[in-house]
Amino acid sequence: MFPEPQSYSTTGSELLWFDPVTQQSLTLGTITGGFTAQASFVLRGPGVEALEVPYQLNQSYGLTALSPAVVERVRAAGFEDWIETYVIVTPNVTSR
């Protein structure tokens, strides 16, 4: 966890969510531009660095049209308006 949220920018990165019910990662869409991260971590399987990104359903980062099926999965996992998503750190991602 960062002491305070950090600003990053991307020229194009997938915003992913880990569904705790199905134990699967789900791509919500691609983001470009600025985003806020609240922590960094290493993904267990591939061992790559990722940033934890808070996401307000159908509002943040230009991703405003999630399918009803995805929203239903989020709700089934016990979440309402906000979920913790992540972006894999690649050369497209820079600190601002």
pLDDT value for 45: 85
What does the block give as tokens for 39?
A: 């922590």
Residue 92 has pLDDT above 90, yes or no: yes
Residue 29 resides in a domain: yes
Residue 70 resides in a domain: yes
Residue 55 resides in a domain: yes
Backbone φ/ψ region at 94: left (φ over 0), alpha (ψ -120 to 50), beta? beta
Tell me how far apart the alpha carbons of residues 47 and 78 are, in angstroms, rounded to a whole number. 27
Residue 83 resides in a domain: no
Residue 91 resides in a domain: no
**Structural domains of the chain, count:** 1
**Structural domain for 27, as ranges:** 6-77
Residue 51 resides in a domain: yes
Q: What is the pLDDT of residues 7-61, one digit of tens each?
A: 999 999 999 999 999 999 999 999 999 999 999 999 988 899 999 999 999 999 9
Residue 82 resides in a domain: no
Segments in the chain forming alpha helices (H): 68-76
Residue 25 resides in a domain: yes
User: Which residue carries 């194009």 as its tokens?
Assistant: 12
Q: If DSSP codes are grouped into helix, strand and coil, which group holds residue 52? A: strand
